[in-house]
């Protein structure tokens, strides 16, 4: 109970601005409030997400920064993450973008969410007891295009902010990509069968976090045996099979590429 009070008080006091409470809770239980700081972005926060049970026992509230007039975009992001927290009993990972195959905001390029530290630092990010113990966190959600998410996955949030010019350049959800790119980071994992020692990839799928590759010669029984699988990095995979390079540079989450020869040409078989 004391923890619940600490989270509620933290949200109320955050940024030194009284909250404006929205009328419709998320899922009937998680309140949504907005904070408007002088000269700053609109910060939309949850009050009650910290009560959602998680397997790890972590407690978090959520925050999204948007420009004025885009509160609906912030709410959609909060709903997506709250639903994931409730259904999968987990909190969003810090510094790892969640990438969707298509934009989740209609009429925009926004298809990814990434949790990062806030611009305000520990006083905003950390929820503490009266005695100073850390009870949990406020996780700031960044709404990104796929190119931005790929860049951040490979280089980190700070590098994305630097490339974009400022954190405020990443607020307007109607923006174009602030960086060039997309595709899969070179350090990302590739799950593949040992038949790749003798045969090239035929189907390669980007899940949003990793690649999965099969030669087309694997039987169900073969695939069911964990001993028949290996883990490589994307860089190693591309070096061994240059034909996949173009797909890897452009892949979006959920896409599967069918390769018929060594030319590098492929056909997309979207899930």
Lowest mean pLDDT among 61-70, 80-89, 174-183: 174-183
Do 66 and 193 belong together in one domain?
no
Do 12 and 74 belong together in one domain?
yes
> Quick one: pLDDT band at residue 209, thresholds 50, 70, 90?
confident
Alpha-helical (H) ranges within the chain are 2-13, 71-88, 122-125, 146-155, 157-164, 220-224, 234-240, 245-250
Question: Tens digit of pLDDT for each residue in 253-271?
Answer: 889 999 999 999 999 986 5
The tokens 């969410």 sit on which residue?
113
In a domain, 181, yes or no: no
Residue 70 · residue 24 · CB < 8 Å:
no
The predicted model scores a pTM of 0.79
Domains: count for the chain:
2
Which residue segment(s) compose the domain that 206 sits in? 189-268
Distance in angstroms (rounded) separating the CA atoms of residues 45 and 1: 20
Question: Tens digit of pLDDT for each residue in 110-137?
Answer: 999 999 999 999 999 999 999 999 999 9
Do 45 and 163 belong together in one domain?
yes
Exposed, middle or buried: residue 107 (CB in 10 Å: 0-12, 13-18, 19+)? exposed
Question: Tens digit of pLDDT for each residue in 127-171?
Answer: 999 999 999 999 999 999 999 998 998 889 999 999 999 999 999
- Last-in-domain residue among 170, 203, 226: 170
């Amino acid at each position: 109970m004391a923890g619940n009070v600490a989270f509620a008080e933290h949200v109320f006091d955050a940024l030194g601005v009284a909250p404006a409470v929205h009328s419709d809770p998320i899922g009937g239980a998680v309140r949504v409030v907005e904070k408007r700081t002088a000269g700053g972005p609109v910060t939309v926060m949850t009050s009650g997400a910290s009560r959602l049970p998680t397997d790890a026992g972590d407690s978090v509230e959520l925050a999204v920064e948007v420009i004025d007039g885009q509160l609906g975009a912030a709410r959609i992001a909060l709903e997506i993450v709250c639903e994931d927290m409730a259904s999968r009993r987990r909190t969003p990972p810090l510094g790892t973008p969640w990438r969707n195959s298509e934009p989740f905001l209609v009429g925009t390029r926004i298809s990814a969410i990434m949790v990062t530290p806030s611009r305000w630092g520990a006083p905003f990010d950390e929820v503490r007891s009266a005695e100073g113990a850390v009870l949990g966190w406020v996780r700031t959600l960044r709404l990104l295009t796929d190119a931005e998410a790929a860049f951040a996955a490979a280089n980190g949030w700070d590098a994305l902010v630097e490339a974009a010019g400022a954190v405020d350049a990443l607020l307007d959800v109607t923006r174009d990509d602030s960086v060039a790119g997309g595709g899969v980071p070179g350090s990302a994992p590739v799950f593949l069968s040992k038949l790749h020692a003798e045969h090239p990839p035929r189907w390669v799928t980007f899940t949003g976090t990793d690649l999965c590759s099969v030669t087309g010669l694997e039987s169900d029984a073969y695939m069911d045996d964990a001993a028949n699988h290996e883990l490589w990095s994307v860089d190693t995979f591309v070096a061994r099979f240059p034909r996949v390079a173009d797909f890897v540079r452009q892949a979006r989450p959920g896409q599967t590429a069918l390769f018929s020869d060594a030319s590098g040409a492929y056909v997309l078989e979207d899930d």
